[in-house]
A and B are shown apart, each in its own frame.
Chain A
Amino acid sequence: MRRRVIVACLLCLSPALAWAESTDQQQMKGLDEQVQEIKSDVLDIAQELSRLEEKLLFPSGTQVAVFVELAPADTMRLDAVRLTIDGQLVAQSIYSFKELEALRKGGVQRLYVGNVATGDHQLEALMEGKTEGGADFSRTQQFTFRKDVKPKMVGLKLSGPSSSAPIALEEW
């Protein structure tokens, strides 16, 4: 029995547990469930709002979205990306550590959502970054994409300067 008491004491090294067994814990549990419910409600609202926003601001007939991803296992450090469509600057992003890590793990950033008319359009992407050795580099690439009736998704796959195509376009 004594051993049990000792181990229990050892496992409960924090005095914070004193309150944990009180009624406060029950109340916290109750509140936690209510917080979960309201989170669920707000998520539903967010979805409906997002649908409304898309319908109002980016109707499918004119919608174009540009996504940015990093080539798998690429070691360059991406600092910034700038995007122009038909000569107009539409988006630019300077990457924080967290954003860069998210891209490195395989996340995809939606850099731009906007509207263009159906037909051919010129897209220019500029990327700036550092090589693994710390040298600055910058690359610019022009592409043409065609916008049809349905929403257009364009992916830009970025990689370091040693790659044959540091900025590659993928149409979805």
Chain B
Amino acid sequence: MRTGARLLGIGVAACLTTAPASSAELKDLYFGEALYHAYQGDFFDALQRLDAELAMYHGLDEPGLDTLTYHVGQAEFSVGDFELDYRMHRRAGRAIKAVLEGAVDEAVRNEAAYRLAKIHFEKGQLDDAVEALARIQGKVPVEIQDDVEFLRASVDLAMGKPAEAVTVLQPLKSDPSLSGFVAYNLGIALLEEGHAEEAVRQLDAAGQLAATDPAGLAIRDKSNLVLGALLFESARYDDAKRSLDRVRLEGPFSNQALLRAGFAEAQAKQYDRALVPWGVLAEREPTDAAVQEALLALPSAYASLNLHGRAALLYGRALEQLSGQIDRVDASIESVRSGSFLTALAREESRQDAGWVIRLRTLPDAPETYYLMELMASHEFQTALHNYLDLEGLRSKLAAWKTGLDAFDDMIRLRGVNYEPLLPEVDAQFRELDSRMRLRLEQKKNVGKRLHAMLTAPRPEYLATAEERIAGERLAAIEKKNSDPATARRVAHLRGVLTFRLETEYHERLTAAFVHLKALETDVETLERQYDDFVRARQAATQSYSGYDVTIQRLRRRVEDAAVGVSGLMARQGQMIETVAVHQLAARRERLAAQQTQARYAVADSYDRAARAQGAEEAR
């Protein structure tokens, strides 16, 4: 029972898997990019982007200024979600534990505890799930309140504590998104607790709930199927029939429901009515176990109605079909053993289309998958299958990266060949320009200093034009050479004129000088920008081809090691899948062989009875 309940819970929990978190107003493009990949089911790329973004965010001095800060809580949870979706439960558990142990508010911590509990539950680690659920205390976000309680009940059920599950589930009945699952689990919990009548009423209610989504419809069908079987066991055949009739004819449980509906009629000795569901079922896909049961059940109903001729014909048809199915199983086993199954799994469509398994089964060249539908429906096999596909994905990525690293090597070599002869000459020219530039900048600095000093201590002579300075120097020279008083007076007069001009035009000239200085500063800024651009371009030139050897060598080694690891694991995983598939097929073959024997005897017996009946008829 424990196993059964656990599987039920896993199925239900899978329906509750949280979709990648989205935000109404996106403020970080790289987070949006990770979501873009996740929404397409490309969780490897989503994780790669988001891990990189979070690592960068946590490495910042002031992460509060980064745009991811608006989504960081959501991003931390999304990493866990993506890891779960990429079937990395252990890492997801660690990521969520990190959130739990971080300085986060109560609601976030409780949500993290819930997610951790869900991971443990899905992996069958029930004690850890209980421990994680016990950490949920205080404020729980409204949107997960019912999910938490539902998970709590599922864990109780899986641990064989139906009474506790009933207590938790009863107040939950109103939640619309969970109503079908809650109602069903409550029915099972009541049944386990020994309240059979209450369980029947509960499952009856669960089987009549309104549902539109596939999951809701499926759980409703399952409720009706389980209820039908319970009522059948209690010999309440009419009630069982009513419940089984509510199962949709096209749903995943329809074959089982039709088979059981026929048995319910047959047990009530209503063989003619049993012909209807079994007749429908016998025309369905012959690889289904319920259909194969119906192939024998249908003629047995005719035999019970004393229609031995018809029974003999149908047994004959069953024998033919069962023999055909045995041949198909043999072909499937052969095909799986020859490696075709793994080849089929690795086909491109398996990654493009969620319904690929069903389509694969219809392909004429794919006998390897005829009998694997039920196997593929199990959680463990799905995990193995997905792991194999994930490994195949990793294998192709690693192969592409290896080629990419070779291309990087080529690119770096070519860049070196291009830049190395050019750079010495460029550097020499730059050094010359650099020294000229520094000289001019120094001059500009001195001029600026002088001009600012002149604001407090005017020095008109500093603002003389070149012509005035020459005139002043010539006057000084004449003064020095001539002692003639007339010349001295004339020189004094001219110096006075010069001084007058310098003094009267001083403020105007000082203003003009500052305007020129300002213009010079703008030019200097442009020059400095160009200088910085050059320095960056020069650094980029060197950085474009040097300093990568160690990184590339290390990466190449890691890629090669990982490729070896992936190949080894793929071989083991593939072998495991094949072994399990062959075991499953062999079990089906055994069952088919038993049915074939049964059909063979039944054909003979029916023909005998038909002949006897005909003889008796003729004798009359």
Bound together: yes
Residues of A within 8 A of B (CB): 2-4, 6-22, 24-25, 27-28, 31-36, 38-43, 45-53, 55-56, 59, 61-62, 65, 67, 69, 72, 98-99, 101-103, 105-110, 118, 149, 153, 155, 172
Say whether B51 contacts A47, CB under 8 Å: yes
Q: Which residues of B contact A24 (CB under 8 A)?
A: 576, 579-580, 583
Say whether A28 contacts B562, CB under 8 Å: no
Using a CB-CB cutoff of 8 Å, which residues 374-427 of chain B contact chain A? Answer: 374-378, 380-381, 383-384, 387, 390-391, 394, 397-398, 401, 404-405, 408, 411-412
Say whether A20 contacts B230, CB under 8 Å: no
Known: A35-B573, A107-B36. A8 touches B3 (CB 8 A): yes
Select one of A2, A27, A28, A39 contacting B86, CB under 8 A: A39
Cα A3 to Cα B4 with chains together (Å): 13
Select one of A10, A16, A49, A51 contacting B584, CB under 8 A: A16
Say whether A20 contacts B91, CB under 8 Å: no
Say whether B377 contacts A43, CB under 8 Å: no
Chain B nearest CB, measured from A150 CB (Å): 11
Instruction: Return the chain A residue nearest B87 by Cβ.
Output: A36
Select one of B188, B387, B559 contacting A31, CB under 8 A: B387
Cα A24 to Cα B401 with chains together (Å): 34
Chain B nearest CB, measured from A50 CB (Å): 6
Cα A11 to Cα B6 with chains together (Å): 10
Interface size class, chain B: 35 or more
Say whether B5 contacts A52, CB under 8 Å: no
Q: Which residues of A contact B558 (CB under 8 A)?
A: 41, 45, 48
Please, could you name 15 A-B residue pairs with CB atoms under 8 Å apart, sorted by A? A3-B191, A7-B188, A13-B225, A25-B380, A42-B397, A43-B48, A45-B401, A45-B558, A52-B555, A55-B543, A59-B540, A67-B32, A106-B23, A118-B533, A149-B536
Q: Which residues of A contact B233 (CB under 8 A)?
A: 2-3, 6
Cα A18 to Cα B404 with chains together (Å): 46
Say whether B576 contacts A28, CB under 8 Å: yes
Say whether A19 contacts B26, CB under 8 Å: no
B456 at the interface (CB under 8 A from A): no
Q: Which residues of B contact A110 (CB under 8 A)?
A: 29, 33
Chain B nearest CB, measured from A7 CB (Å): 6
B57 at the interface (CB under 8 A from A): no
Instruction: Return the chain B residue nearest A40 by Cβ.
Output: B91
Q: Which residues of B contact A108 (CB under 8 A)?
A: 26, 29, 32-33, 35-36
Say whether A49 contacts B401, CB under 8 Å: yes
Say whether A11 contacts B7, CB under 8 Å: yes
Q: Which residues of A contact B394 (CB under 8 A)?
A: 38-39, 42
Chain B nearest CB, measured from A46 CB (Å): 5
Q: Which residues of A contact B551 (CB under 8 A)?
A: 48, 52
Say whether A107 contacts B375, CB under 8 Å: no
Q: Which residues of B contact A48 (CB under 8 A)?
A: 551, 555, 558
> B320-328, B513-521, B564-572: which one contacts chain A?
B564-572
Select one of A10, A13, A18, A67 contacting B33, CB under 8 A: A67
Say whether A102 contacts B544, CB under 8 Å: no
Q: Which residues of A contact B580 (CB under 8 A)?
A: 19, 24, 28
Cα A108 to Cα B256 with chains together (Å): 45
Using a CB-CB cutoff of 8 Å, which residues 74-92 of chain B contact chain A? Answer: 86-91
Instruction: Return the chain B residue nearest A103 by Cβ.
Output: B36
Q: Which residues of B contact A19 (CB under 8 A)?
A: 580, 583-584
Q: Which residues of A contact B304 (CB under 8 A)?
A: none
B168 at the interface (CB under 8 A from A): no
Q: Which residues of A contact B40 (CB under 8 A)?
A: 98-99, 101-102, 107
Q: Which residues of B contact A45 (CB under 8 A)?
A: 398, 401, 555, 558-559, 562
Q: Which residues of A contact B583 (CB under 8 A)?
A: 19, 22, 24
Chain B nearest CB, measured from A34 CB (Å): 6
B548 at the interface (CB under 8 A from A): yes
